Structures are given as C-alpha cells and as structure tokens.
Amino acid sequence: MEIRDVCTGEKYKARDGNEKMAWYRIGKAFLQDDGRISLKLAALPVDGNLVLFPRKEKTNQLPY
C-alpha cells in the first residue's frame, strides 16, 4: 500500500510580483494494491480541487 498527501492549492502574488501557489495538506490517500484509493480528509477544499503528492519524510513531524 502506498500513501500520498492530499493537498489543495491557492494562488497568491508574491512580494516580487510573481504569481505563486501555496499548498495545504488536508489529508492522506491510501493507494491499495487492487487499484482502489481511500481518502482520509481533515478538511474539504472550497473549490473542490484535490492534488495527490508523493509523501516526503518529515524531520519535525508531530507525533499525531
């Protein structure tokens, strides 16, 4: 089973005037061996868009 981060993004204008994207992790996706995907969400995006990212090891991760 593979685990991915579920994120939603928001565009914003940086101080230098360039448009950037801020990503917010709002849950986890569990990719099952049989092709199913299970989601565990802590929030829902207002615009309905979700993006799955490969998980990165966190060095300062909280215990929960």
The tens digit of pLDDT for each residue in 15-58 reads 999 999 999 999 999 999 999 999 999 999 989 999 999 987 76
HEC sequence for the chain:
CEEEEEEEEEEEECCCCCEEEEEEEEEEEEECCCCCEEEEECCCCCCCCCEEEECCCCCCCCCC
Domain boundaries, the chain: 2-54
Q: What is the tens place of the pLDDT at every residue in 52-64?
A: 999 877 666 655 4
Q: Which of 21, 27, 23, 20 is nearest to 6 (CA)?
A: 27
